[in-house]
A and B are shown apart, each in its own frame.
Chain A
Amino acid sequence: MANLIGQSFRRKEDYRFVTGTGQYVADIRMDNMAEAAFIRSTYAHARIKSIDRSAALALDDVYAVITGEDLVGKVGLMSEMESHCRLPKHIEDQIKPIMKHNVEPVLATGKVKYVGQNVVCIVAKNRYIAEDAAALVKIDYEPLPAVVDPFEALKEGAPLVQDDLDDNMQAYFHLPVGSWEEAVSKADHVIKGRFTSPRVGSNPIETRGVVASYDNRTDFLNIWSSTQMPFEIRHYVAKLLGLVEQNIRVVAPDVGGGFGPKGGLYPEEVLLAYLAKQLKRPVRWIEDRMEHMSGARHSRDQIHALEVAYTKDGTILGVKDDFVLDVGAINYFALTCAYNSAAHFRGAYKIPVFDLTCRIALTNKTPNVPYRGAGRPEVVFAMDRIVDMIARELGMDPVEVMLKNIIPAEEMPYSQGMYYKDGGELIYDSGNYPEAFEMALEMSRFKEIRANQERWRQEGKYIGIGFSSNVEGTGVGPFEGAKVSIDPSGQVILHVGSSSQGQSHETVFGQVAGDVFGVSLDRVTVKNGDTVALGYGAGTYASRSAVNAGSAAHLASVKLREKMLAVAGNVLEIAPEELTMKDGVIYAVSQPEKKITFPELAAAAAPGMRCKVPEGMDPGLEATHYFVPPTVTYSSSVHAAVVEVDIETGFVKIKNYYIVHDSGRVINPMVVEGQVQGGFAQGIGTALYEEVVHNENGQLLTGTYMDYLLPTSMEVPVAVQGEQEYYSTRNPLGVKGVGESGAISTPAAIANAVVDALAPFHVKIDRLPVSPNRVFDLLQDAQSEEVIMPK
């Protein structure tokens, strides 16, 4: 039945994207529309003593200058995303978490907590005037001591970030799997390491943006937002403004990338909705790049203190990790990233003992939220770096130690002896990790490189190869919905609850539904990103749409197909079991002349006197399904990086890169390949370039793209991909998520490759990014150690 699934159809959405005819939030124009601009905090921590807005208000064409105090009692406080913070009871029993309630007003009241926090909103005829007015507002701040380092933040007596809490430890948990003491007692060695993944941003090509308009007649709010979660926005705008959810429509039009930080509620979404209603005119705000750097949320920022117990043959017996996550001024996503870190720590390795303690620290920085990888690249970096270190301690090849500890194929499905965040047991459903590793060795010509490395070094070329593997829980619930119907024209119309930020929803879900109805891709129209189309929706994040929305689309289509056959049977007076459908025609298998087309069937099923649906069946050709996954499904990948290091300048050049990945059954190979390559590009950023830097006062030092370095097309080679296709056992399509896997192992593989290239110098890389200056410093240290060491 699968004619469409498995084929690399060109993306339906690409025509408008490449011809500049897409519609992003900034393309929305309305009569009488005003523009908002924000004054953002220039202090990391300060009391707001006074705000003088008189000069700004006196300026022509300025409609409003709003402060946080104006909103007290009118607009609720933002806090944790409830849907992401609930933990099942049995997990709570196991990890005994502390999770403290924390808040942020949409405009600062009393004090500011980070550079970039919204303090004043100005609404004017246009953005130019709004910024002129912003320059006239006088804010008198009384600076407070800023808490910048997460370890300082956790110390007793540290200044409080959230005044209502007793300290800055916003959350804590301890996860024990097996006995660490026992692992140590059996081990020959225990190695320690401390690994830092710094703060980064997601930097989508489209910044954030909101347009809101209010219709007085119907008491209806329309909100367009460049968001990953339109349904959540609707819920929270209603909640914070005291409105009825069904009186709000949130549309995510074309969205130019999200990668995580566009998921969740932002102050601008709430405030613009409020202002549109107050000012009785549409209001628009388009985030500029300067705002994005501090106002859009950051991610990563984890420091892991790791101990690993192992035997002299390189077998790992246990891992103990004590880690701190710097969450910034408020934690919106509770344990999402932190527990992801725990759940993905051991990845493809068979490590029976695991003991992890996590502390989440509040600091005076932009809030930290999930970003592509969401807690996984940090631990894969820590784990694969320490495996590499173990190998070098033992005088073994890192590949040998990795393969020694990898989960054998015959042990699948494999249990890691803990729960996933959704409450399911953490059991890898399908996959073959040793095979993936062997494929990566073969593709990267590992043996050839090893054989030549020494000779290359003699010639002054420092070339190294590094590996990293990961297993990723994808397709997390809670659910996703699909509503499918047959239009009077015969077109299949599919609404899905998860919206797109460029992921190809219109194409791949068309392939899924098209196969059920036996029609070509152009006969399926996929709609998404609109809260009026479906009752419920979750969103596109966490590598979940193909699994959840794909399965929902499939199951809704199967439901509708059955109904269509029943209605057609009634019309044609043939048993439905004898009917089939192809290219928009339903016909009897044994007598193809007995047939009815989709438009005819749609007419026959329409309500009214002539409705031909069988007795007891509702009229209309429409079906809805909400898919609830039993738990996540596990995709996996093995990365191999080949790099050359210039030992004089410290520059790292990626010579070749290979990714073997299993994302289950592939709906559209070209889309999957693009996802992996895109994740890889962001992985390169994390590995070599990106770092959000604050100084000791909490000032952002990387506020422009001169200082915050994103890899460009010139820095991103094409990763050669190899594919495995081990179907998931946890959804009807057999698919697994692929959105994040490219990003997860890239930093670890590149860091290991650099270490390998510099093997004669015995360098250890324990923090990202691997910048030329850091490589230079490592080489300097290595050389000075050589001098000191008596020989």
Chain B
Amino acid sequence: MKPASFEYLRPASLEEALQYLADLGEDAKIIAGGQSLIPVLNMRLSTPKYLIDIGRVEGLSYIREEDGYLAIGALTRHVELEQSPLVAKHCPLLLEAVKWIGHAQIRQRGTVGGSIAHADPSAELPCVLAALRGEIVIAHADGEETLAAEEFFLTYLLTSLQPDQMIKEVRFPVISNAAGYAFTEVARRHGDFALVEVAAVVELNENQEIALARLAAGGANPVPCVLESVEDFLIGKAADNSLLEEAGEMASESVDPDGDLHGSASYRRSLVKTLTKRALQTAIQRAGGISR
């Protein structure tokens, strides 16, 4: 379990990093927190010729509120989300989700950009990003572009990121104060990747009917999956228990999970139902709803 030899590059600026990427392309890999890449290197599942360590790149670690988004620099560590008053105020769903990421040691090192780029369908941040319809700002030597989460995540561990591109920023839409939210997850052990996770945001109107619903599931499809049909179904409905039951059922029918050692497809499907129900229930309660 020793990596094959590679050349180590440590750019000081984003421009320098992007230039390396432009020059080296597929022979290079970016390393930030290393929480996913290091095991892959040690097992020689990946043998890049160059490792570009962006750990010292200036100006990539920040959390800002701008234009209705929380803009989070790619190098921001998970722990910084956990401790940020801005995250707590503008996107408490994200705060709730971050606590499910690995263990304290992993959150100290792992980065937001790394988690998004790795694109594990069971990971927490991609699920929240999908639920909120967030964006990813991609940089390359010739400029920048912004992609929606659904354009970015292609399939299991695969994104639309090109070899000469890197994630610069991840943008999570701000959640209104009136909204309720919840992140529910089950994992075999504390800190494991989720078997299934569900992120939910709900806003109610004055009649206690659902005015806005945001819902996504992780661990159920090859990409974090927006439960759009369930969202549509919920709009205008009175928030009560039978609604939750129906929504859960609908959610489980709208996913197509694969089975693995830790959960068969039918088990995961059932978890989608249970967690959707639970996430919606909490979100509705937090939105001031009466469901119980």
A interface residues with partner B (beta carbon < 8 Å): 127-128, 131-132, 135, 288-291, 648-651, 689, 693, 701-702, 706-707, 709, 711-712, 714-715, 771-773, 776-777
Contact = CB atoms under 8 A, between A and B. Distances in A.
B264 A773 contact: yes
18 contacts: A128-B2, A131-B4, A132-B4, A132-B5, A289-B1, A291-B1, A649-B186, A701-B261, A706-B193, A707-B261, A709-B189, A709-B262, A714-B189, A714-B190, A714-B191, A772-B267, A773-B267, A777-B267
Nearest to B263: A773
A651 B186 contact: yes
B191 A712 contact: yes
A709 B1 contact: no
Interface string B179-192: 00000001011111
Given A131-B2, A689-B188, A777-B264, 16 more contacts: A131-B1, A131-B44, A291-B1, A649-B271, A650-B267, A651-B186, A709-B188, A709-B192, A711-B189, A714-B191, A715-B189, A715-B190, A771-B262, A773-B262, A773-B263, A777-B267
Interface residues of B, number: 23
A289 B261 CA distance: 20
Contact of A649 (B5, B264, B274): B274
B270 interface: yes
Nearest to A711: B189
Contacts of B24: none
B148 interface: no
A234 B200 CA distance: 63
A706 B191 CA distance: 11
A229 B123 CA distance: 44
Contacts of A772: 186, 188, 195, 263, 267
A714 to B, nearest CB: 4
A452 B264 CA distance: 34
B156 to A, nearest CB: 14
B43 interface: yes
A-B pairs with the 8 shortest C-beta distances? Answer: A714-B190, A288-B1, A648-B274, A128-B2, A773-B267, A131-B2, A776-B267, A773-B263
Nearest to B274: A648
Contacts of B195: 772
B267 A712 contact: no
B265 to A, nearest CB: 11
Interface string B260-279: 01111001001100100000
A258 B195 CA distance: 32
A578 B270 CA distance: 81
Interface of B: 1-5, 43-44, 186, 188-193, 195, 261-264, 267, 270-271, 274
Contacts of B43: 290
A11 B192 CA distance: 34
B263 A689 contact: no
Nearest to B275: A649
B158 to A, nearest CB: 19
A769 to B, nearest CB: 10
B22 to A, nearest CB: 29
A132 B261 CA distance: 32
B261 to A, nearest CB: 6
Contacts of A127: 2
A689 B189 contact: yes
A776 B4 contact: no
Contacts of B191: 712, 714
A34 to B, nearest CB: 15
A649 B272 CA distance: 10
A651 B278 CA distance: 15
Contacts of A128: 2-3, 5
Contacts of B2: 127-128, 131
Contacts of A714: 189-191
Contacts of A715: 189-190
Nearest to A132: B4
A585 to B, nearest CB: 52
Nearest to A779: B270
B276 to A, nearest CB: 11
A732 B270 CA distance: 60
Contacts of A702: 261
B236 to A, nearest CB: 27
Nearest to B39: A704
A590 to B, nearest CB: 65
B121 to A, nearest CB: 14
Contacts of A712: 189-191
B189 A290 contact: no
Contacts of B267: 650, 772-773, 776-777
Nearest to B195: A772
B261 A693 contact: yes
Contacts of B264: 773, 777
A293 to B, nearest CB: 11
Contacts of A649: 186, 271, 274
Q: Which of A127, A290, A648, A693 has the most CB of B within 10 A?
A: A648
A525 to B, nearest CB: 37
Contact of B1 (A290, A648, A776): A290
B189 A135 contact: no
Contacts of B270: 648, 776
A714 B191 CA distance: 9
Nearest to B259: A773
A697 to B, nearest CB: 16
Contacts of B193: 706
Q: Which of B192, B261, B262, B270 has the most CB of A within 10 A?
A: B261
Contacts of B263: 772-773
A648 B44 CA distance: 40
Contacts of B189: 689, 709, 711-712, 714-715
A707 B188 CA distance: 10
A709 B195 CA distance: 13
Q: Which of B5, B189, B192 has the most CB of A within 10 A?
A: B189
A650 B186 CA distance: 10
Contacts of A701: 261
A702 B274 CA distance: 28
Contacts of A291: 1
Given A709-B188, A714-B189, A135 B44 contact: yes
Contacts of A707: 261-262
Contacts of B262: 707, 709, 771, 773
A674 to B, nearest CB: 22
A135 B188 contact: no
Contacts of A289: 1
A36 to B, nearest CB: 13
B189 to A, nearest CB: 6
A131 B192 CA distance: 29
Nearest to A290: B1
Contacts of B190: 712, 714-715
Contacts of A706: 192-193
A707 B2 CA distance: 21
A36 B268 CA distance: 43
A681 to B, nearest CB: 13
A547 to B, nearest CB: 36
Contacts of A651: 186
A714 B190 CA distance: 6
B174 to A, nearest CB: 32
Nearest to A291: B1
A262 to B, nearest CB: 20
Contacts of A771: 188, 262
A685 to B, nearest CB: 10
A210 to B, nearest CB: 17
A135 B47 CA distance: 12
A492 B240 CA distance: 76
A661 B253 CA distance: 50
Nearest to A701: B261
A289 B43 CA distance: 10
A29 B79 CA distance: 38
Contacts of A132: 4-5
A123 to B, nearest CB: 15
